[in-house]
Amino acid sequence: MDDESSTIEAFEELKTRSLGASDVAQIAAGTGLAVYAMWVGILQPGFRRVPLKLQVPYIPASTSQVRNVMTLLKGRKGSIVDLGSGDGRIVLEAYRHGFTPAVGFELNPWLVYLSRFKAWRTGHHEKVSYRREDFWKVDLSKCKNITVFLAPSVLSLLQKKLLAELPHDALSLKPSPDIVSLQPPHA
């Protein structure tokens, strides 16, 4: 009981005490360290092997964006590949809509692990594939459907790869300034 009363007294003292400059500095340093740890552990691994001009931050697709992608793919079938798949939500939803195989390529190992966990949690872990590979080095010649949500600077370079490798009847989905556009790579 003595430990409990001393704990309560310590909390009461903290409530009445005002923060000094050193307390604020400690809070700021702790917050900065936490943000840095998140950067190093979660975001930076995907950037390490990529030239600066090709680096793209992870921004998850919204539910409406995923729905728009599936709407644009309506009537299509076959394989689907998501280049820079992030947390894997487009690959998973594409599989649910009948696209097989459904494969996502992502450099960030934490996002690959998260994607695989989401697939496992939904019971589709044996049906979809998430690969920690550089999609610039992947042969896309057998891909029928490609989704790409990357920065415009990367998309212009990627267009050359898509034109060179995709079959004539393949479609690539990529963002435009206002909407998602459906474009055959050989149009």
The predicted structure's pLDDT at residue 2: 67
Number of structural domains found in the chain: 2
Per-residue pLDDT band for 48 (boundaries 50, 70, 90) equals: low
CB-based contact 109:120 (threshold 8 Å): no
21 and 67 belong to one structural domain: no
Q: What DSSP state is assigned to residue 61? A: P
Q: What percent of the chain has pLDDT over 90?
A: 23
The set of residues, in sequence order, having a beta carbon less than 8 Å from that of 155 and lying 6+ positions away, is: 148, 174, 175
90 and 146 belong to one structural domain: yes
14 and 80 belong to one structural domain: no
The predicted structure's pLDDT at residue 134: 85
CB-based contact 58:108 (threshold 8 Å): yes
Q: Please indicate whether residue 45 or residue 155 has the higher confidence score (pLDDT).
A: 155
88 and 130 belong to one structural domain: yes
User: What pTM was computed for the model?
Assistant: 0.67
103 and 28 belong to one structural domain: no
